Chain A
Amino acid sequence: MSLYTVQKLLYQLNRDRSVQQRYKDDFAALLEDYDLTGEERHALAAPDIGLLYVMGVNGQLLMHYAALCGFEWDQYISAMREGLAEHGSVRAGLYAATDDRGAVS
């Protein structure tokens, strides 16, 4: 359920302006409302877009979170590639990289 919780946070953050205000005012307090692991809390707070990608966060949710965090398009793509290099293959979900060879091992 934990990846689900990360994604639910991002879903609510992406669509709800009151949640966006809480993100700006006190992100740590917002995170307390969600049952997250230490790794998930770190990845969201850093933010570590590459790690969130490898965890399996749905790309449509992550794309907007990266934009909210100020990542330009090329930075965002690079962050996912760096995440693969550092943390290995995408662990869950549909948004695995392929490069014609399936998820990076």
Chain B
Amino acid sequence: MTLVYAGVCSHAPGITGRAQRADPALREPFYASFRQMGEEIRAQQPDALIVVAAEHFANFFMDNMPAYCMGMAEDYEGPIEDEQWLGIERRRIPGNAELANRLIERMLHDVDLAYAQEWKFDHGVMVPLHFLTPAYDVPVIPININCQGPPITPLHRAYEFGRTLRKACDAVDERIAVVGTGGLSHWPATPDSGKINETWDRTFLDRWLANDREALTSYSDEATYFDAGQGGFEIRTFIAVAGAAEGSTGELYYYAPIPIFAVGCTIARMHL
């Protein structure tokens, strides 16, 4: 069939784990937009939801770190974190190993993609699923882009990765939704947690919504680290989705800094 949905969202663990500490005037519209995205995805009746995530040393460590990896398991377990801490119960999430296998085979024509038949979801996948597929009844295929342990993939490669993903999705019969999840500017897990560069975020989002490949891939890692923190490296997930939606432009459903969530909370989609 083809790619039937492409969107992006935040995934910070505070979104569920510190929910009660957020201003309800910000939290509730954010949650509503998150759930709206879920309803839109499910309305497309996808056979699989691909989550392009920026994993945080839950499965991949510096002894064997792929730049890009796709899950190829029958099912997954998550969250890896303490359930009380994250505010999400541990469970098994269905995958689709056979479909993932075909997608990986197709993508290997264009990119050296790793695969994994074991994968434990951390907050980077579980927080989005909590809102997008709360019944956990849509098969998930995870993708990890290393945004955590330098050297990390250049931005232009992330865009190309997205284009390759799109080609693979369009080459199979199944209906596939893709969601990229990451922070924009943020300094998570530092004493500056809660610091957010809203101006930088909004500029990036303007570029993403316009699907301006050149502008999206023009950031140097040095500038991103200075302006957007180490968490800003996760823009690779957004850029990959822009690549998957090349030729389309987007719509912003929600953006607001919510400091106790440690990120500028974002929900946006591409109109394919």
Q: Which residues of A contact B (CB under 8 A)?
A: 4, 7-8, 11, 14-15, 53, 58-64, 67-68, 73, 77, 80-81, 84, 94-99
What size tier do the contact residues of chain B reach? Answer: 20 to 34
Complex Cα–Cα for A11 and B64 (A) = 13
Choice from B80, B188, B189 contacting A14 with Cβ under 8 Å = B80
- Say yes or no: B189 contacts A62, CB within 8 Å: yes
Q: Is B150 an interface residue (CB 8 A)?
A: yes
- Say yes or no: B230 contacts A84, CB within 8 Å: no
- Say yes or no: A58 contacts B191, CB within 8 Å: no
- Say yes or no: A14 contacts B225, CB within 8 Å: no
Choice from A4, A7, A15, A95 contacting B80 with Cβ under 8 Å = A15
Q: List 14 A-B contacts (CB under 8 A).
A: A11-B61, A15-B59, A60-B57, A60-B188, A60-B189, A62-B189, A63-B189, A73-B14, A73-B18, A77-B193, A95-B190, A98-B187, A98-B190, A99-B192
> Known contacts A15-B58, A15-B59; is A95 also within 8 Å of B230 by CB?
yes
Q: Which residues of B contact A (CB under 8 A)?
A: 14, 18, 56-59, 61-63, 80-82, 85, 120, 148-150, 187-193, 195, 225, 229-230
> Known contacts A64-B81, A67-B82; is A96 also within 8 Å of B59 by CB?
no
Q: Given A8-B62, A11-B61, 12 more contacts at CB 8 Å?
A: A7-B62, A53-B191, A59-B189, A60-B56, A67-B81, A67-B85, A73-B18, A84-B191, A97-B192, A98-B195, A98-B229, A99-B192
- Say yes or no: B192 contacts A98, CB within 8 Å: yes
What's the least CB distance linking B153 to chain A, in Å?
Answer: 15
Contacts of A63 in B (CB 8 A): 188-189
- Say yes or no: A8 contacts B61, CB within 8 Å: yes
Complex Cα–Cα for A80 and B192 (A) = 10
- CB-nearest residue of chain B to A61: B57
Q: Which 5 A-B pairs have the closest CB atoms?
A: A59-B189, A60-B56, A94-B230, A63-B189, A80-B191
What's the least CB distance linking B223 to chain A, in Å?
Answer: 14
- Say yes or no: B82 contacts A58, CB within 8 Å: no
Contacts of B190 in A (CB 8 A): 59, 80, 95-98
Contacts of A11 in B (CB 8 A): 57, 61
What's the least CB distance linking A28 to chain B, in Å?
Answer: 23
